[in-house]
Amino acid sequence: MANKIAILNGPNLNLLGNREGDIYGSIGLAEIEAACADECERFGFELEFFQTNSEGDLVTLIQDAGAVCAGLIINPAAYTHTSVAIHDAIRAINIPVIEVHLSNIFARESFRHHSYVSPVATGTICGLGPTGYILAIGALATQIPEEQ
């Protein structure tokens, strides 16, 4: 069986392709999921892909991924800057975690410059649009031991 990875997406990412195109581009979340599925296949990963607007649901998805996945990619969106609960959930799991942001959070409003996720993530990719997800899958491939 392939190594399973989860890609979790936070609030408002379901609106990609329809919101703030100058910041987030014109590609929707379904297109990002399809590109991620292709890249996961290349690395032999089984993919679980989720989006939720609920902080509590995101915490539960992180905990669930920690129990059944070999790695996690998370775009916590606005919760990046506010959620100690997401920080604690990531800290509690024992798998590599890559934080992804479509925009460069450090080139935006000052309140977006702080991430509660970065200190507990294996790595962070930001500002590269949907390509960041593809790069994160490759990064996980370097962090997950090959199956025996």
Tell me the per-residue pLDDT of 78-125, one tens digit each, with 9 for 90 and over.
999 999 999 999 999 999 999 999 988 877 778 777 899 999 999 999
pTM, two decimals, is 0.91
pLDDT given for residue 114 in this prediction: 83
Predicted confidence (pLDDT) per residue in 33-42, tens digit? 999 999 999 9
CATH superfamily name and code, 3-143: Dehydroquinase, class II (3.40.50.9100)
Among the options 24, 79, 116, 133, which is catalytic? 24
Domain boundaries defined on the chain: 3-143
Single-letter amino acid, residue 133: Y
Among the options 79, 101, 116, 133, which is catalytic? 101
Tell me, yes or no, if 116 is annotated catalytic: no
Tell me, yes or no, if 133 is annotated catalytic: no
The contacts of residue 3 (CB under 8 Å, 6+ apart) are 44, 45, 46, 69, 70, 71, 144, 147
